[in-house]
Each structure stands twice: as structure tokens, then as C-alpha cells.
Structure 1
Amino acid sequence: MVAMDTCRVGGWVSGGWVIFRLLRASAHGVQGRHLLEMLGVAVVYLAAGGLGLKVTTVGNISPAWPPAGVALAALVVLGLSRWPGVFVGATGVALVAEAPLTAALGVGTGNTLAAVLGAWLLRRVSFDKALERIRDVVALCAGAGALCLGVSAAVGAASLVLGGQLRWELLAGGLRVWWVGDLMGVLVVAPTLMLFRRWERPRRWGEALVLAGLTTVLGGTIFFVPGLPHSAEHAATFLLFPMSAWAALRFGPRGAAAATLCIAAASIVGTARGQGPFSTGDLTQDLLVLQLFVAANAVTGLLLAAVSTERQRAVGQLQLLGTTVRGVHEGVLIAEVRGGGALRTVFANQALCTLLGYPLEDLLGEDPCALYGAQELEFRQRTRQSLLAGEPVFAEVQLLRKDGGLVSSEVLLSPVRATGEDVTHFVATHRDISATKELQARLVAAERVAAVGTLAAGVGHEINNPLAYLVLNLESAERNLVQGGMTGLREAMSGVRSALEGAERIRLIVRDLQVFSRQGNQDKGLVDLNALVPPAVRIISHALRHRARLVEEFGPVPRVTGNEARLGQVLLNLLVNAMQAIPEGNPSLNEVRVRTSTDATGWARVDVVDSGAGIPAHVLPRIFEAFYTTKASGEGTGLGLAICQQIVRAHGGELEVRSEPGRGSVFSVLLPPARVQVPTPPRPVPHASIPQAPQARRGRVLVVDDEPRLAQSMRLLLEPFHDVVTATRGGEALALVDAGHRFDVILCDLQMPETDGAAVYQHLCVHAPDQAARVVFISGGAYTPESRAFIDTVPARVLEKPVRPEVLMATVKAAMAAAEALASEPPTADVAAASGTRH
């Protein structure tokens, strides 16, 4: 007996010495606070182990082992480096349970390894100690609990068998009891320690006291009141689940952990004393069945608390999102994708309602594509297909307001997969860019004027030359007519022909300027780039001749859909840019080449190539930035290339540049071809000739123009072949028609003071529709937005000033023929349809 006690004391001393050496080795390089934390972990582990030893069953193995939860919580909260504290505590508890030193060390190793593996696994999955996510609860219960604790059970039970503390035939039962006991510690103790490491007073303190009181009374009644019927105890046990659910839903993970700890403590103590619904006389079996009840209660409570917390967080985020979306200044619309690809609006914020002028109830439930009615059908179909395919769409669109007006908007359409598979919704974010578009239009106009202004001297020179010989030839013709005779008449006719050639040249220059100076017209049509290049070249040719040769190289090029004035501005700006890249003085050594072609993809291509100084590599990425320029003061605003890129992109194309310092630059405009390619009619070759008498009957023509000399000139031209009446005001012309006068053709100026051409036409449509069908408008080209809208809605011909004599004569002849054809047909409601096509 003495020898046995001596061996036991020797074992304790040896174990203490080993523990001391381990602590000493672990203390090197660590701060004193860490050492104290490890000692604290060891002390708490020993204390919790003392509680667990009170209910040991198979071979001193406890089915309720709080130290497992203490170890895991310590390593999760304090860090893996505190593992020596776990090892010391686990080994010490085994020694207290009178296990041999080797078995105690094995038990300590297994328990420490399980805690380290569990903490490491939780760290790998980004575990949150607050247990407010379902994934954290699953990781704690299934990973760190059920999985890693198998290591502790296997190593610990095997150590007890090898140390003689557990018989071989009891190994399987020991493994089961060990694993269940550790799992209870992780499910019950670890959450409590992690969640209550800092004390926080519950927000609902009174409700918490009521819940704690009811749970205590109910648990005490079930597990400590003797003499209750066994069936009543079983039935009352189910009342503990509502208590746990109450705690989880109202107080979150902390409430669930606290309730689980209270229920587990009461049920384990009561069952160990042989009371309660789980007590049958076999303590081992009773505690194992009880642990199933505790585990179900603990996991249910923690999961319910996590679900509730995640839901509250999601609701809070949705409320914040809803408040934010409603309060943003940009319009937001959310549409639901229904069966068959149908779309239905389910949300619109106040900003969008204000932007469109609709109340919210008018937008909800409607197809959002109706808002894009101002867009082409092809655009709307392409947008719908992209959204249903899950592709975002970014575009500039025209939205229809409730009052029928249009508002420019920049829209981002984003598909949403709420279920993670098919597109279920899409979100449309609208930004009102009406002011931006207006500012851009002003900048474009300003840059256009600046480009033409840069070439003003050359344009003036180009006009002065033909104007000079126009004047000289007219003076010569006048002198020859005064002299009389056949010789004088022939010389006068020759001078008049030369004067007509000069006037034709001036007309072409003015027409070229009109292409680049039209304001406000954003209409798109078919544009022939081969026909658009010459006007730009003619405008810049005089200014460029002192710097470089100008070469035109035309190839086959498809027609494009675009705005002639804006694309013309791009060409003019690129030519000005090329001109400014070449210094004056050596025109024979430098060249600017304009080349049209079709690229490999079928797109229209225009290259502007110069042999100038080129663009440095560090400057090239910034040349399309607004207001960025390397030119000298007075030569550039820094807007030209930026506006060119903006215009080209608005036409669906790209503006590319290639450049090498010292070897010049190449700017390439790439534009998609129009879907319908209409062949370009041959251009009439201008020639100066006196119009011959047309092969038609003599008609009656009314000329209405506020410029008396122009009206008189047209009268003199037409009078040999027709009866001509002139009027210098729109009201005067209407008075003639109202008085009963009828005309075969009415030549009417579009822009006139007081009563303009549009007012004349509208009056005729109401009071003399037969005369409205005979109107031919004459315009100087300075269209206002109102006059442009009017011209686009009426079928009348429009002639651009100055009108060549042969064109005027041919137009009058065609108008008379159309009038005769109309008179021979049965009357119809649309009398204006007979006015034919425009020239």
C-alpha cells in the first residue's frame, strides 16, 4: 500500500515536472500576458473537468464534458498559441482521475489536438464568434464539434486502454461516451463562453428576467420535483423547446446559448440524481439519451437565432436600400421578367416619376419598354434580347413623358438573377442628361464655328476671286450692250456666261459652308462619305496650300446612317488638325491625304493622313480628352478631337489614331454601313446656259419672297413661259388666294417676317387645299428647329437658295405636271399627297 502511494506521488511529481518544462518552453518569446492567459485556460479547464468527473460512467469517461467547450472557446478567442494551457489542463484532469502518467499525457495530447484542429478549421472558414450566420453555426456544430472531436475520443480512449484504465471490451462504448461528452461541451459551453466574453446588458431586460424565471421554474419542476408522473415529465419536457425558441428569436445567439446552458445544467444534474423523464436507473444510457435532447435543443436554438439575425440584417439592408433608392436623384425602375419574356414594372422611385411626369400607380404593372417608345423598334428588340440573355445594356435613350415630350436619359439596364439561374428582374437606372446634351450641342456648335473661323480668311479669298470676275464680266457685258451691234451682243453674252460661272462657284462655296454651319438639326439619313469629303476639302484647300499638298483618294465606300452636318464637322476638324500639324513654308515636301474605303469588316472608312510632326507617345492616350491640347495659344481649344470622337461614337462608330513622332499621323473614322443601301443618283453637272422654253402649257405662277429683287429675278426668268404674279409678304399672297385667284404653282419663301411660309401653307390647307398641293418652298438653309420640324411633316418640295435657273424651271414644270395629274384623279381626303417628292 505504501509502495503504491509512493508510486502515485512519484507520478504526480514527474507529471508536474513535465508540465513545468512545457510551460517554460512555451514561455520563451511570448509576453507575460500570454503566459497568464495560458495558466488561466489551464485553471478553467481543471475546474470544468472537476464538474465533468462527477458524472463519469464507463471507465471514468464522462458523457457530459464541459472542458471540451472551454478548450475550443479559448483557442478561438485567445488564439492557437494558447494550446499549452489546454494541454496542461487536460493532463491535470487525467492525473486527478488517477490515470497513469503515460495515459494522462495521451489524454492531454488528444484533447489538445482536437481543440487545435477545431480552432484551425473555424479560422479557415472565416468563422465569426458572434454566431449570427447559419454557416458559423454549421461550422461549429459539424466541423469543430462532430468531426474534430473524433480525434480526442480516439486518442483519449486508446490511451486509457493502454494505461489499464479501460478494458478492451469497453473501448467501443468508451469511444461513444467520450465523443458524446465532448460534443455536449462544444455545443453548450463553447457558444456561451464566446458570446459572453464581454458582458452586455440585454436591451429587453424585463423580458429577459421573465424568460429566465420561466425557464428556471420549468426546468426545476421537470428535473427536481419528485413524484411527478413519468408521462407528465415527458410531456413537460417539450415545453423547454418554446423557451429556447423564445430566447433565440428575441435575444439572438446570446439568448439561445444562455437558455441552452440553463436547460443542459438542470437536465444533467437532475438525471444524474435519478430524477426527470430521462432517468431509468442506467446512468450511462440515461445520460446518452439526455445528450440527444440537449444537442437537439442547442442546435435548434443556435440555428434559429442565426436565421433570425440574418433575416433582421437582410430586412435592415432592404429598408436601407429602399430608402436609398427612393431618395437618390437618379431615376430607378425595377421590372419583373415573367413567362414568355413579358416585363412588368414592380418598383419606380420618386426621381423617375418626377422625370417622366407619371404618378407611381401609372408605372407599376406596366411594360417598361413603353417608356422607350421614342427609340427605334430594332433598338427596343435588341435591348430586350440582351436583358433576357443576362447582358447589361448601357445607352442614351429618349424617354416619353406623360405630356408627350421627350427627355434625354443615360440608362444602365442590369439583369438580376434572384434565384441564381434565369434572369428574374432587371434594374434600370436613368440619369437625366438633357442639360448635358444641350451643353454638348453648344460645344459642338462652338467648335464648328471655331473650325470655320480658323479658315475664314481662306473662305473669304475663295469667294472674292469668283466675285471679282463676276463683277468684271457684268460690267463688260454692260459696256458691250451700250455699244450695240452684233459684236457687242456676242461679247455681252460671253460676259454673262462667265458671270454665271462665277455665281455658280460662289453658290457652291456657300453650300459647303451651310453643311458645316447648320444648327439644331440632329436628323439622320443616308450619307455618302465620298460626296461629303469634297466640301470639306474645298473649304480648307486655300489655308492648306501654303503647308502641304492636298490629295483626295476615293474608293468604294458604303453609305452610312448619320447626320451630314455633324459628320462633315468631323472631317473638317480632322483636316484642320492635320493642317496645324504641318508648319508653313514647304508645301512640296508635305502632304495631307483624305482616303475613303471599305475595311475588312464592311464598315465605311475615312482616313486623314498627314506628314506632320506626329504625336509623342506620352501624349497619344490623352488626345481625346476635352480641353487637353499641346497647340500654341490661339491654335486650338482642346475640344476638336474630343467632339469628333463623341460624334463618331454617337453614330455607332469609332475614331482611331496611329502616329509616330517625326512621321506624321493617321486619323481613321470607322462607321457601320446603313442597313439599306440606296444607290446615289448621279450629280447634275452645273453649267451656265440660258434656259430654253419648256415643252408645256403656259401656266400661272405666284412668287412669294420678302426680298423684292429676288422675287423680281424669278419673275424675269419665268415670265417668257408663264404668267407670273409676285408678292413680298405672306399676308399679301393669302389675300390674293382668298380673293379667288388660283395658281398652277406657288413658289413660297420659307423664312419671312410676320407670316412665314409655314403659316401660308397651313392657311391654304384649311381655306384652299387645292392650292396647298401646289406649294414649292424656297429656303436659304438657316432652319430653326420649328421650321425643320415643319418641313419634315409636309410633302411639299424644298429648293435651297440660290436656285439654279434650270432647276427652278424644271421644278415649275414638274409641279404643273403633278397638279394636272391631281386634277384628273378623283378627289381624296389627302390633297397634299399630290405634291410629289423633294428635290
Structure 2
Amino acid sequence: MVIHGLIRACARALRGRHLLEMLLVAGVYLAVARLGLSLATVAGNVTPVWPPTGVALAALLLRGPALWPGVFLGALLATSSTGVTLPTALGVAAGNTLASVLGAWLSRRMRMGTDLSRIRDVVVLCLGAGMVCTGVSSLVGPLFLWLGGTLPSEVMGHAVWVWWVGDLTGVLVVAPPLLVLSRPSWPQRLGEAVALASLTTVLGAGVFLFRALQPGLAYGASFLLFPMSAMAALRFGPRGAAAATLVISAVAIFGTVNGQGPFSSGNVAQDLLVLQLFIVVNAVTGQLLAAATEERRRAVERLQLLATTVRGVHEGVFIAEVVSPGKLHTVFANDALSLLLGRPREELLELDPCHLYGEQDSKLRQRVTDSVLAGESLCVEVSLPRKDGHLVSTEVLLSPVRATGRDVTHFVATHRDITATRELQARLVAAERVAAVGTLAAGVGHEINNPLAYLVLNLESAARALTEGGLLGARDAQAGVRGALEGAERIRLIVRDLQVFSRQGDQERTLVDLNALVPPAVRIISHALRHRARLVEEFGPVPRVLGSEARLGQVLLNLLVNAMQAVPEGNPSLHEVRVRTSTDASGRARVDVVDTGVGISAQVMSRIFEPFFTTKPTGEGTGLGLAICQQIVRNHGGELKVSSEVGKGSVFTMLLPAAPMQAEVVSRPVARAKPPMPATVRRGRVLVVDDEPRLAQSMRLLLEPYHDVVTTLRGGEALALVTAGHRFDVILCDLQMPEMDGAALYRRLGVMAPELTRRMVFISGGAYTPETRTFIETVPNLVLEKPVRPEVLMASVDAALDALAAQGKDDEDSVARAGGARH
């Protein structure tokens, strides 16, 4: 098999162009071999200067291993010219060829670059192809010369040493120029290159070609060639180092052979061996320095490219150094981050990103600190403060960098502005919420029309009874009013249920009882579902969760609408939609929405949570419902799962983590707890401020039998009354009013009459703006939601009056105690 492979290689080599290249290699090998043999120091066949090894190695690396027959032919002709026998010449040629082939194979195996621009390339050339592989020829060649009777056995060891030195210098001095100059190109600094080459040649000639220098001075002058070689390596890379080494080696060998230079002692054989050490050190040093320079240059270029790229990207980027465990110091920030935060880059370099992220949330700061300490990546959404005070929503990816090994030395963070994305998502969520409620609009309208119908009928009946007069008429009117109140109460409950699912921007987190959240969703969908399936509620013990009531209510409503649409119409007795609450094995709150509908196929199942994917006809679905549900649940730290069987129905399961006991709960802007009925009733002066005339008149009629009531429709009018000196014990104030709303009136009164602000009771219809919500969360005053039940309104006024009386008594006691102390 080996012979067959060699024959095939020879056949390939003998084809056309390969044949010419093979002959060219053989000719060049023979020419430089004659030059080397002219310097033979052992038995006329072993020389410390053997350039053919470098020629052969370069040829096999550049043109491929198929040229090895040319190397063999050149070695055979060169050895035969010394007068040895044919078997001896064949053995020596085989050893030289094998060393070159092994060197080329090892270099390719180690992926050595022929441009020698990496330190590892120089190491592979010097150690692998130079020191190791040449050992083959240095052993095989002397062995065949000894077997052929050309080489005496007593000089066998010395011959092996000289042979190896000659091959090594051939690899280190001749191969690099052939490799790096195989693609000729003019240097960018041609004038500098010519000047450096000329100076190196002149200096080398001065050191090795003149006898005038004293031996000590000559040795010292020879060291001047190292800076020249180093300069060539630093300024012109591997090309400069290879050229300088070749020039210095040629001048040094020529001078030493002619008995000149610092290494000349009269014994040429010994002088050449010592000179080769000088040449090897100079060659290795120059090539390593050139490779290191090239690697540094490439690293600087990559760093500059990276810095330019990072500065130019549209996402904000900073790089922070780990100063101490848990503490970072920003060392780089790009222009995009500076623009995003509205701060100059110099100011950003002084910030600790852990504190920058944690200004809004101490828990977030702890998460960032924990990630820094653990050396882990962190992807989080955070609102960063701009210098002008505004907040910008960003998605931050914080990644550790281990620049020096296993320890994390830096962190890189990218900031993507998601403000527009969040606004779009909020609009999509709102649109999907409206779509879900719109799907049930007919049923909701029916649920409102029924109590509205008997409310109107009962009021008409009461009016007719009062017109007729008499005791019987008064009794009938009283019954009609009670019926009207029942209808109004039903309408109030329906509106309250709708508010849960239509509240805008309801992102605050509160402790939510899922068992209390299910009934409103069920009531809204019950009318639309009754023609498709039975609706079953199954409540179990479930922990409260920390979340948004509106968002979680939207998930429940969407899942119920999805279940309703999965059930065909016509046979409500055969189908069922079941809502079940429980606690799973890990302590999480669990809500299952189970239907006996058509089920979901495996092909559809893999895509049901994809945005805009829908199996409904065009115009009947947006494909956003389940995607938004999954997003909402994930934002609450939970998961939304589904299982289904075609023809038997589906089960959607919402799992939410139980609220921790230490969770900080933000109060929701809803009606506060019903105030207790006062122990005593006192008459007070009440100011009613509401822009709805009929509502203001109704409150006046309700309160007037017990209190002195003044009504006004504008916040400005109320302020004018206070300014004019009118005294009020309680102010019932609507929150949403034109011109001056309740919050503005509160602030104005806080300047003019601060004692009145403690007596204000706010009334709201529930359509909160972010400013209104913030105001409600910060003031201690009572907030009632419309429509306010009469007994609640009365109790609120009486409780305020009692609080006022208690405060007055405390003030009197304080004055009395102060007087007693003075006495």
C-alpha cells in the first residue's frame, strides 16, 4: 500500500506543471547544495551550512507535498557529486527528503501560517520543523555515509552534530525569507526599508569583513546587529526580520570562512559551529519579535475596530471594571448610552452601574450586586433616570468578562431603549382587553338592560303612586323605590366588574385574591356562554399573589373567552366550562380553565402563544390574546401552560408564585374601607364640589336634613368660597373635574387653609390618570368610588365630623395642660 501510494504521488507529480515545479525544486536544491558542500568540514560531505533544507521545506509548504520527488532528485544529485556510491547517495537523499516531508507535514498539522505572523507559527517552525524533524536527516545521513565507508566511525558523533546544526540553520535562515516573500509586495515605507537594509549591510560588512577591529571590539560590535534585526522586525514584521537575518547570516558566513570577523580563530570548522549559534539566536529572536509585533498590531486593529463599532452602535454600551467584590467602576461608555441617559460620557465614567440601576428599586440593585458577585449574566428591564429627571425604559444585558482567566475582571452591559416597545405593548394589551370585552358586549348590554328596565318601571310606578296620593299610594311608591334601588345596585356591580378589566395603565402590584377575582370575570361572560355550555366555579384554598388585579383579570377573561369560542353552539347541556382554583404542590396559586370544546391539534399547539397567530377567519381574531396572556403571566413571575386533546377539550393552567409575607404592597386606588358609623351625630357645614349638577344636587338632598350643605360645580368656585371666609367642616370633592380637579384644589387649600385638607373626602368615578393614581396613593384622605351608596356617604361625613370634634377636644386639653404648667 505504501509503495502504491508513492507511485500514485509520483504519477501526480509528473503531470504537466507539477513536473516543471519538481524540476525547478531539484535544480534550486542542487545549486544551494553545492554552495553548502563547499563549506563541508567533516569527510567532505558534512557541512554546518546547509541551505537546501530550508529550500525543500519552503517548497513543500508553499506548493504542496507532491513536490517531494523534486527534493529527492536534488538531494540525490548533490550527494552523488561528492563521489559516494549510489546506495549511499540514495540513503542520504532519502533521509534529507524524509526530514523535509516530516517538517512540512508537522507544520500543516499544527496549522502553521506561512506568513509567520503568529508566535505559535515561529515556535512550530523552530521547534517542530527545525529542531525535531531535522534530527531524522542528521541520523540517517551520517549512518549511510558510515555504511558506505565514507565517514569514519570515530567522527560519527561529531558528524551527527554538525549535520543537525547545518539543517537547523537552513530551516531558520533560508525557509523564512522564501515563505514570507513568496507573495512579493513593496513595503509601505520603501525609503525607510532601503535605508535600514543598507545600514544593516554596511554594519555587517564592517563587523565581519574587516580585520582592523580588535577581537574584543569586534565581539562588541557584533551585538550591534541585534538592534538592526530587531528594528527590521518591529518596523516591517516577519518580512523585515527574515530579510535582515538572511543578510546578516550571509555576510557573517562569508567573513568567517575567509578568516575575518569576531568568530574567526583560524579553525574554520569550529568557527562555523560557533557562528551558527549567533545566527540561530539572531534568527529566532527576530522572528519571535516580528510575530509578537504582528499579533499586537492585529490586536490593536481589532480593538480599534471594536471600539469604533461599539461607539457607533445604536444601543447603549458600557464596560465596567470589577474593583472589589460587588463593586464596579465604569471605564467605557459609548455615545449611544450618553444620548440615552442625557449625560456626558465623562460623567458616566464616574458612576457605579449597580447604584445607577438601583436608584428606582432596591431589589433590582440587590439582583445586580448578586450577579456581579456570582459572575453571572443578567438580563432585566429597568427604568433608568435621565439627567433631566425623566425615566427611560431599557432592556439591560449584563455579561461577565474573564479577561485574565477564571476570575471575572469586567462586566459589559448593553442597553436597548424599549420605551417605544413598551408603549406599543401597552396599546396592544389595551386593544386586546377592549376586544375581549367587545366580544361580550351584547351579553354585557343584556345584563345592564334587564335591571335598567325594572329600575325605570319601578320609578315610574313610584311616581304614579305618589301622584295618586293616599296611604296606599305611599306604600306602593315605597315598594317601587326599593325595586329601583335593587336595579341600580345590580347595574353598579356590573360597572364595577367592567372597571376591573378596562382600567388603563393599571400596573401597580397589590395582594390579589384570585378567588375574589374569578367571579367578576365569570359574571361578565356568563350571558354569552349560557348558549354554549354550563359554567361551573370550583373554589379551593389558594394563596394570595402579588400582582396587578386588572392584568390578571384580563388573563382570566381572555382564557374564558377562548374556552367559550372553543365550544360549539347549540348543545349547552353537553358542554361545560369550569374555572377551578387551587394550590399546586410547590405552593403556587393555580387557576385552571377547563372546557369540553373541540380541542387543539398538535400542529396548532406549538404556535398558540405566537403573536398574531390565529386559526379564526379574517376579521374575527387578532392572534394576540394568548400571547398577551403569556406575557402578563410571565411578568408576574408565573407560567401559563396548556394541555389539550382533539375532540375532548383543553385545559389552560395559570400558575403564579405566592406573595412573600414581607412583600411591600402598594395600595390600590379603590374605595377605602367603609368608615364606621359614628357614635354620635352632630350637625356640620358640608361643601359639595362636583361638576355633575344632578349628582351634586342628589348629595345635597341626601345630606340636607342633617347638615348645612353648600354645592358648587367648579374647584375654582370652592376656592373662592374659602377665600371669602366661609367655614366648612367637611368637603366632599370629586377628583376628576375640568379646569381645577380635586388634587389641584387640595394643593391650593394646603397653602391657603391647611386645616381644611384634613377634612376632605374624595369621590371618584374610577378613570384614573397616572397623576391621579399617584396623588391617591400619597394622601391619607378617604376615597369613595362612584356610585356611592347613601349610607356610606352619610357615614363618611359623620366620621369626618367626629374626627374634627376629637381633634378640637385634644387641642383644648393641650391648652389646659399648658395653662396648668404655667400656673
Same fold, TM-score > 0.5, yes or no:
yes
Does the alignment pair 1:43 with 2:17? no
Corresponding residue for 2:697? 712
Corresponding residue for 1:393? 378
Corresponding residue for 2:500? 515
Alignment of 1:673-822 (within 5 A): 673-676=658-661, 695-822=680-807
Alignment of 1:186-225 (within 5 A): 186-225=171-210
Local SS of the residue matching 2:332: strand
Corresponding residue for 1:683? none
The verdict on how the C-alpha distance between 1:822 and 1:254 changes in structure 2, with shifts beyond 3 A counting, is farther
Corresponding residue for 2:563? 578
Local SS of the residue matching 2:100: helix
Corresponding residue for 2:819? none
Question: Which residue of the other structure, out of 27, 49, 56, is the alignment partner of 2:40?
Answer: 56
Does the alignment pair 1:451 with 2:436? yes
Question: Which residue of the other structure, out of 212, 219, 222, is the alignment partner of 1:237?
Answer: 222
> Shift of residue 619 of structure 1?
2.0
Local SS of the residue matching 1:725: strand
The verdict on how the C-alpha distance between 1:75 and 1:582 changes in structure 2, with shifts beyond 3 A counting, is same
Corresponding residue for 2:161? 176
Q: Percent identity, please.
A: 70
Alignment of 1:99-114 (within 5 A): 99-114=84-99
Kindly provide the CA deviation profile for residues 288-345 of structure 1, in whole angstroms up to 9, marking residues without a partner as x.
1111111111111111111111111111111111122112211111111102432111
Q: Distance in 2 between matches of 1:368 and 1:24?
A: 67
Corresponding residue for 2:311? 326
> Shift of residue 93 of structure 1?
2.0
Local SS of the residue matching 2:606: helix
Corresponding residue for 1:4? none
What amino acid does structure 2 have at the position aligned with 1:583? P
Alignment of 1:410-809 (within 5 A): 410-484=395-469, 486-676=471-661, 695-809=680-794
> Shift of residue 677 of structure 1?
7.0
What amino acid does structure 1 have at the position aligned with 2:523? R
Kindly provide the CA deviation profile for residues 717-743 of structure 1, in whole angstroms up to 9, marking residues without a partner as x.
333443333222222222222233333
Q: Distance in 1 between matches of 2:582 and 2:92?
A: 86
Question: Which residue of the other structure, out of 360, 377, 383, is the alignment partner of 2:362?
Answer: 377
Q: Distance in 1 between matches of 2:597 and 2:512?
A: 30
For structure 1, which segment, 626-635 or 461-470, has the greater mean C-alpha deviation from structure 2 after superposition? 626-635
For structure 1, which segment, 713-722 or 223-232, has the greater mean C-alpha deviation from structure 2 after superposition? 713-722
Kindly provide the CA deviation profile for residues 145-168 of structure 1, in whole angstroms up to 9, marking residues without a partner as x.
112222221222222222222222
Q: Distance in 1 between matches of 2:542 and 2:804?
A: 39
Contact 2:357 2:364 in 1 (8 A): no
What amino acid does structure 2 have at the position aligned with 1:112? T
What amino acid does structure 1 have at the position aligned with 2:226? F
> Shift of residue 778 of structure 1?
0.4
Corresponding residue for 1:836? none
Kindly provide the CA deviation profile for residues 341-384 of structure 1, in whole angstroms up to 9, marking residues without a partner as x.
32111111111111111112211122123332453211111122
> Shift of residue 23 of structure 1?
7.9
Q: Distance in 2 between matches of 1:31 and 1:664?
A: 75
Alignment of 1:247-396 (within 5 A): 247-396=232-381
For structure 1, which segment, 97-106 or 583-592, has the greater mean C-alpha deviation from structure 2 after superposition? 97-106
> Shift of residue 602 of structure 1?
2.4
Contact 1:387 1:414 in 2 (8 A): no
Contact 2:13 2:19 in 1 (8 A): no
Q: Distance in 2 between matches of 1:427 and 1:209?
A: 46
How many matched pairs? 799
The verdict on how the C-alpha distance between 1:807 and 1:378 changes in structure 2, with shifts beyond 3 A counting, is same
Q: Distance in 2 between matches of 1:434 and 1:119?
A: 60
Contact 1:704 1:749 in 2 (8 A): yes
The verdict on how the C-alpha distance between 1:160 and 1:822 changes in structure 2, with shifts beyond 3 A counting, is farther
Structure 2: where are the runs of 5+ without partners? 666-670, 813-823
Structure 1: where are the runs of 5+ without partners? 1-18, 681-685, 828-839
What amino acid does structure 1 have at the position aligned with 2:22? M
Contact 1:117 1:148 in 2 (8 A): yes
Local SS of the residue matching 1:351: helix
> Shift of residue 588 of structure 1?
1.4
Contact 2:325 2:372 in 1 (8 A): no
Kindly provide the CA deviation profile for residues 541-595 of structure 1, in whole angstroms up to 9, marking residues without a partner as x.
1111111111222222222222221221121112111211222111111222222
Corresponding residue for 1:9? none
What amino acid does structure 1 have at the position aligned with 2:202? V
Q: Distance in 2 between matches of 1:692 and 1:196?
A: 102
The verdict on how the C-alpha distance between 1:818 and 1:302 changes in structure 2, with shifts beyond 3 A counting, is farther
The verdict on how the C-alpha distance between 1:511 and 1:300 changes in structure 2, with shifts beyond 3 A counting, is same
Contact 2:677 2:798 in 1 (8 A): no
Q: Distance in 1 between matches of 2:442 and 2:493?
A: 17
Contact 1:548 1:588 in 2 (8 A): yes
Does the alignment pair 1:148 with 2:161? no
Local SS of the residue matching 2:500: helix
Q: What TM-score do the two structures reach when normalised by structure 1?
A: 0.91
Q: Distance in 1 between matches of 2:8 and 2:571?
A: 91
Q: Distance in 2 between matches of 1:595 and 1:374?
A: 41
Contact 2:13 2:66 in 1 (8 A): no
What amino acid does structure 2 have at the position aligned with 1:542? H
Contact 2:396 2:413 in 1 (8 A): yes
> Shift of residue 671 of structure 1?
2.1
What amino acid does structure 2 have at the position aligned with 1:785? P
Kindly provide the CA deviation profile for residues 760-792 of structure 1, in whole angstroms up to 9, marking residues without a partner as x.
111111111111011111000111222223223
Contact 1:22 1:84 in 2 (8 A): no
Local SS of the residue matching 1:622: coil
What amino acid does structure 2 have at the position aligned with 1:285? Q
CA RMSD of aligned residues (A): 2.4
Q: Distance in 2 between matches of 1:108 and 1:558?
A: 89
Corresponding residue for 1:34? 18
Contact 1:374 1:398 in 2 (8 A): no
> Shift of residue 228 of structure 1?
2.4
Q: What TM-score do the two structures reach when normalised by structure 2?
A: 0.93
Local SS of the residue matching 1:619: helix
What amino acid does structure 1 have at the position aligned with 2:39? V
The verdict on how the C-alpha distance between 1:715 and 1:396 changes in structure 2, with shifts beyond 3 A counting, is same
Kindly provide the CA deviation profile for residues 598-649 of structure 1, in whole angstroms up to 9, marking residues without a partner as x.
2222222222222222222222222222222110233211121222222222
Contact 2:341 2:387 in 1 (8 A): yes
For structure 1, which segment, 98-107 or 480-489, has the greater mean C-alpha deviation from structure 2 after superposition? 480-489
Local SS of the residue matching 1:594: strand
> Shift of residue 490 of structure 1?
4.1
Contact 2:529 2:535 in 1 (8 A): yes
Q: Distance in 1 between matches of 2:13 and 2:54?
A: 28
> Shift of residue 516 of structure 1?
1.3
Q: Distance in 2 between matches of 1:339 and 1:214?
A: 52
The verdict on how the C-alpha distance between 1:825 and 1:382 changes in structure 2, with shifts beyond 3 A counting, is farther
